[in-house]
Amino acid sequence: MLAPGAMRRVILDLGCGSNKRVGAIGLDHRPEKGVDILCNLEHPLPLGADVADEVHAHHVLEHVRDLVQFMEEIYRVCRSGAVIHVSGPYYTSRGAFRDPTHVRFLTEDMFQYFEVPTAYGIRTDFRIEQIEYEVRRSFRYLPSFLVKYCRRHLWNVVDTFWVTLRAVKGDESRGPGSRRPVGVQG
């Protein structure tokens, strides 16, 4: 039970399916075990503004047709400082192509469009905090500069990647150099 005046941390698991994170509120369009809120992620989320402290969207973005609207909705429901965890198949992996329900390919560079100043009038202010790559076994023991080269120029070097974002709202100072991702494995 929460102490008087204490706020409960709100964790959202978007597109959770039957694998909802422990302690999270699961949102999905299919009525599966673990789904708390049935909704179409292609429409506005049935949540108020500034309610979430943490959002998980694992293997979801590649299925969303209007990614800008979806990211704006995530931003809307996030409190200032909320952490957003995103993962998906890397654009040069077989996994990006094999699922017929994928409507887009994901790259680490696309998240720069959701930082401020946003391009094309996108109404978000996410800071990229970290990007990690699941490198295929045959490339894992190469020096990092060579892994980076292979990731950018060869197919099937990376299967999945994870991006951690932070919602910046209000008068928060982004500070000098804050547009540069922290902990990004170039």
Is residue 29, in this structure, part of any structural domain at all?
yes
In sequence order, which residues have a C-beta less than 8 Å from that of residue 70 and are 6 or more positions away? 41, 42, 61, 64
Segments forming the whole domain that contains residue 70: 11-167
Is residue 94, in this structure, part of any structural domain at all?
yes
Query: What are the structure tokens assigned to 143, written together?
Result: 């020096």
Is residue 5, in this structure, part of any structural domain at all?
no
Determine the Cα–Cα distance for residues 1 and 25; give it in Å rounded to an integer.
17
What tens-digit pLDDT sequence spans the chain (186 residues)? 434 444 689 999 999 999 999 999 999 999 999 899 999 999 999 999 999 999 999 999 999 999 999 999 999 999 999 999 999 999 999 999 999 999 999 999 999 999 987 668 899 999 999 999 999 999 999 999 999 999 999 999 999 999 999 999 986 544 444 444 444 445
Given a contact cutoff of 8 angstroms between Cβ atoms, the answer to whether 87 and 128 are in contact is no
CATH code, 27: 3.40.50.150
Is residue 124, in this structure, part of any structural domain at all?
yes
Given a contact cutoff of 8 angstroms between Cβ atoms, the answer to whether 66 and 158 are in contact is no
Write down the pTM of the prediction: 0.87
Angstrom CA distances, 158 to 59, 85, 90, 112, 144, stand at 15, 18, 6, 20, 13
User: Considering its fold, how many domains does the chain have in total?
Assistant: 1
Query: What are the structure tokens assigned to 150, written together?
Result: 């292979």
Is residue 151, in this structure, part of any structural domain at all?
yes
Is residue 185, in this structure, part of any structural domain at all?
no
Is residue 117, in this structure, part of any structural domain at all?
yes
Is residue 178, in this structure, part of any structural domain at all?
no
How many Å is the Cα radius of gyration of the chain?
Answer: 17
Determine the Cα–Cα distance for residues 57 and 68; give it in Å rounded to an integer.
14
pLDDT at 6: 47
Cα angle: 13, vertex 17, 20; to 5 degrees: 45
